[in-house]
Structure formats: C-alpha cells, structure tokens
Amino acid sequence: MKHAKSAAAMADYLETWPEIKARHKREKIELLQSLCNHYTVDVAARILNTKQATLRRYAIDHGVRFLRKIRNGKYNYESPHEVTVSCKEHLTKFA
C-alpha cells in the first residue's frame, strides 16, 4: 500500500501534536520573557495584538512578571523584574 509507506516515512520528519503544543507554549513563554523587562502588560498586549486581560492571565499562570507603571507616570526600573520561572524549568515541568 503506497499511502502507508509514505505516511510512515513522513512520520520521521513531522512533529507530533503534543510536540507542537509544547513548542507553541515554550515559544509564547519565551516571547513574554523577551518583553517583560521592557514593557508593561498593556503595551505588550498592543504590540502582540491581543487583549490585555488575556496576556496578563497567561503571564501570571506562567510566572512572567511585567514592568509595572507606578505613580506619576514613572516605571519601576529601580527594581527590575526577573522572570520567576525559567524556560528550562517549564520544559521539564510541562514536557
């Protein structure tokens, strides 16, 4: 059967569905980590063209802390936010 052979051969090159899900999750977390020390959630949501509430919930759920705006329009640069959970820890936790 010609289809079975080609499907088996393709399986060596394709990601499985769980692998795709894990990669997408990892990429989203890495993206948030690249933005969190430079932007507030509001600005990052506009950059990513998504709702602020959606982005905030995802960041909270995955331990990513964004820059926060404080009184008088100033930002909390003095106490930089470190990512509370690294990507490496997430990979082992969710893989």
pLDDT tens string 4-53: 567 677 777 789 999 999 999 999 999 999 999 899 999 999 999 999 99
Q: How sure is the predictor about 80, in pLDDT bands with cuts at 50, 70 and 90?
A: very low
Q: What is the CA radius of gyration of the chain?
A: 19
Question: Which element (helix H / strand E) includes 30?
Answer: helix 17-36
Residue 41 contacts residue 55 (beta carbons within 8 Å)? yes
Q: What are phi and psi of 87, to 5 degrees?
A: -60, -40
Q: What is the pTM of this model?
A: 0.65
CA distance 4 to 44: 46
